[in-house]
Amino acid sequence: MTNKKHKVAIIGCGRMGQHYAQAYRAYPDTEIVGIVEHNPERLKAVGERFEIQNLYANTEELLNDIVPDIAAIITPSKFYKDAVIACAEAGVKGISTDKPIAAKLSDADLMVETCTSKGIVLAGGNLQRAMHEIQEAAQRIRDGKYGEIIGASVNGFGGEISGGGCQAISVLRLLTNSEIEEVMCWGTHVDVIKGNADRQQAIEISKAAINQEEDTGIVINGRFTMQNGVNTNVFGTATPYGGVDVWSDSSLIRWNWGPPQIFQGFDNNGNRIEIETNYKPYEFSEFSYLTGSIRSFIRAIETGSEPWITGHDLRQALEAAIASKLSAQLGSVPIKLPLENRSHSLLPRPYRWIGGDETGRYQSVDEARKEIPDTN
């Protein structure tokens, strides 16, 4: 072991876990001291690739041997809760998961509350909210640089409203600087939007979609009211923009899966004028927004600041997806957040929930040995 400051364990070393390992290996102040991986061949291959001696088949074995400062948990989502709680009980200082954090609200609550009560930083994962340009745009909005935000839209809340939708919800909450207070939604299914059904079939498919236990294929339209009064229009499909728009009287800030664009005023043809953003350079530019996620997480452990994507953010995203589906199921009934009944759940697609090995996307040993370009 070296004198690097933060000892890191990677728990779950599949495709995403290997991305995390590349990042943690690259930073000057972190050292990977152990990895946990269920698949023995992949465990060995990833251990060799990253030159790590301490290899474990499960989290318990790791914690019996070493208590790292940081546990980066990137197993399939089904296993996050047990790993988070085990690490928290063992005294790990900072824990991260990826998305979605859970299927059941009470499981997300348990992770967030256990870490909060023990003073452990619970961070989010590889989410666009942690992109430094998005964080800077949000800071400028909070500083009043673009005027008071009076409206917002989520463009394309469909396909995977929890597993992928958490990207948009966590950016929406950041750019509006507010929590969601109420949702009022209706839902359908991607097959209906593609026009592959007549009217009666479309009704039946949509009904079935909105009653399913999994988020795959569900498309949500509706309105979110934020706690600060901002109304958010939710479009199930692209508008044609994806992502999130927020606007004031003077400006439109548009996040469409990249650094936010800023528009002010209109030209003679009525087109919006895009202004220079001049986002500050960021010290760590490799690994795209996974970098912002990890570096802000480390800063939070060191200084008590807030990571750019937190377990709370992931929980709020799960809750928004669940509440949207519930509202649609009940017939566009307005639903207040937080939901009182914490036993509600929404499963992500099977790949996210139980992983590639179980769902026909096995990662071979050769693939696991390969370096991935540092761009995500």
Ligand X SMILES: NC(=O)c1ccc[n+]([C@@H]2O[C@H](COP(=O)([O-])OP(=O)(O)OC[C@H]3O[C@@H](n4cnc5c(N)ncnc54)[C@H](O)[C@@H]3O)[C@@H](O)[C@H]2O)c1
| Binding interface with ligand X (CB under 6 A) | 11-17, 36-39, 42, 58, 74-77, 79, 98-99, 125-127, 163, 352, 355-357, 363
Sequence-distant (≥ 6) Cβ neighbours of residue 282 within 8 angstroms: 132, 291, 292
Pair 166, 321: CB distance under 8 Å: yes
Q: What is the largest CA-CA distance in the chain?
A: 68
DSSP H helical segments within 153-257, as ranges?
Answer: 166-176, 190-193, 199-211
Question: Helix-strand-coil percent breakdown of the chain, rounded to 5?
Answer: 40, 25, 40
- Give the shortest CB-299-to-ligand X separation in angstroms: 20
Q: What is the dihedral of CA 1, 93, 162, 185, to 10 degrees?
A: -160
Nearer to ligand X, 17 or 311 (CB): 17
- Give the shortest CB-87-to-ligand X separation in angstroms: 12
Report the amino acid identity of residue 136.
E
Task: With H, G, I as helix, E, B as strand and everything else as coil, classify residue 4.
Answer: coil
- Give the shortest CB-56-to-ligand X separation in angstroms: 8
Q: Report the distance separating Cα 311 and Cα 320, nearest Å.
A: 14
Nearer to ligand X, 244 or 252 (CB): 244
Q: Which tokens go with 317?
A: 């995203």
Nearer to ligand X, 80 or 235 (CB): 80
Nearer to ligand X, 39 or 216 (CB): 39
Pair 164, 158: CB distance under 8 Å: no
Nearer to ligand X, 146 or 255 (CB): 255
- Give the shortest CB-266-to-ligand X separation in angstroms: 35
- Give the shortest CB-140-to-ligand X separation in angstroms: 25
- Give the shortest CB-46-to-ligand X separation in angstroms: 8
Nearer to ligand X, 131 or 183 (CB): 131
